[in-house]
Amino acid sequence: MNKIVLITVSLLLIAAPAQVAADEPPPPMPGNSSAILGTEDYFAGALPPPGFHFINYLAYYYADELRDEDGDRAPMDFRTNVAANVFRGIYVSEIEVLGANLGWHLVVPLVYQDMEIKGLFDESRAGIGDIYFSPFLLGWHWDILHLVAGLDIIAPTGQYNRRRNVNIGSNQWTFEPAVAASLILPEGLTVDLKLMYDFHTENPDTKVRTGQQFHLDYNVGYAVIDNFRLGVGGYYLIGVQDDRVDGTRVPDSRQQVLAAGPSALYSFNPGLHLVGKVQFETLVENRPRGIFSWLKLIYSF
């Protein structure tokens, strides 16, 4: 959406003089990823206590402009909508490794996406997206500092067809090491940061390999009252490598985006929390520029 689904429109397609014929597949898409941007916020680095925990993310992304490699608006009539409900189950065990609690999680997104470039295509798709799973999560806790380290693997389980302009899945594997930290001060201030680095495999149908990417989620919040926090958060992504098509580097294909906006957390009780936030994108290159809205329910069994 990462998005809940990161939306990347082919720059080759943007430059096409006419609509792609129905019996011809579209040109190879530049790098795409199913890494989800902007999900983490309050207490991102604080692994919950041993037991089973459930998070439900309800997300909506809207964009009506594309930005090129220079950050300029592409001259076309474009729009896209993405709505997603994402289920995340977390299990934290009593097992300790290097002084940290050992845990695992599974993330299953249900996604609807429509996209239109006037004069070229207008398509929509819905289904299960690319599923995340983690072979390990390690959580450390100190007085005011909490830390989580882990590895996420994103599997190509989402619908994909190279003849379509819109796909729910990316048709590639992504391996994402991640580290998150939370500073929770007794005065009510919280500072949260999650750092991720993505390694992508090649899409076997298009021979496109997305370049490696670095991205982070951040949030700074303050407890206005005991069970209510207000803050500011968002995400940042930058491409570290250019994409490749059949082994050949695609110049100026690295993506970039910075997002920021207000966030709020309400705690009904120690095991039930609700987060709402809106993230406005800027400094965008090689991708759509839009607005991401989230509603996140956290429940501990």
Give the predicted TM-score (pTM) of the model: 0.88
Of 68-77, 82-91, 152-161, which gets the smallest average pLDDT? 68-77
Beta-carbon contacts of residue 22 (< 8 Å; ≥ 6 apart): none
Nearest to 297 by CA among 38, 53, 130, 71: 53
Provide the mean pLDDT of the chain. 89
Query: 39 — alpha (psi -120 to 50), left (phi > 0) or beta?
Result: alpha
Phi–psi pair at 191, nearest 5 degrees: -125, 125
Cβ atoms of residues 114 and 81 within 8 Å: yes
Q: Count other Cβ atoms within 10 Å, centred on residue 234.
A: 25
User: Mean pLDDT over residues 56-75, rounded?
Assistant: 93
Q: State how beta strands 51-67 and 208-209 pair.
A: unpaired
SS (H, E, C) 48-61: CCCEEEEEEEEEEE
Residue-wise pLDDT tens digits, 7-34: 334 333 333 333 333 444 444 445 567 7
Q: Of 16 and 100, which is predicted with more confidence?
A: 100
User: Mean pLDDT over residues 266-283, rounded?
Assistant: 96
Sequence ranges of the domains in the chain? 11-300
Q: Count other Cβ atoms within 10 Å, centred on residue 155.
A: 15
Residue-wise pLDDT tens digits, 200-255: 999 999 999 999 999 999 999 999 998 999 999 999 999 999 999 999 999 999 99
Residue-wise pLDDT tens digits, 127-164: 999 999 999 999 999 999 999 999 999 999 999 999 99
Q: Which two tokens stand for residue 174?
A: 């992504």
Q: Which two tokens stand for residue 236?
A: 């940042």
Task: Please name the residue that has the structure tokens 């009904």.
Answer: 268
- Terminal alpha carbon distance of the chain: 28
Calpha distance 210→32 (Å, rounded): 6
User: Mean pLDDT over residues 162-179, rounded?
Assistant: 94
- Among 3.90.850.10, 1.10.3210.10, 2.115.10.20, 2.40.160.40, name the CATH number for the domain at 11-300: 2.40.160.40
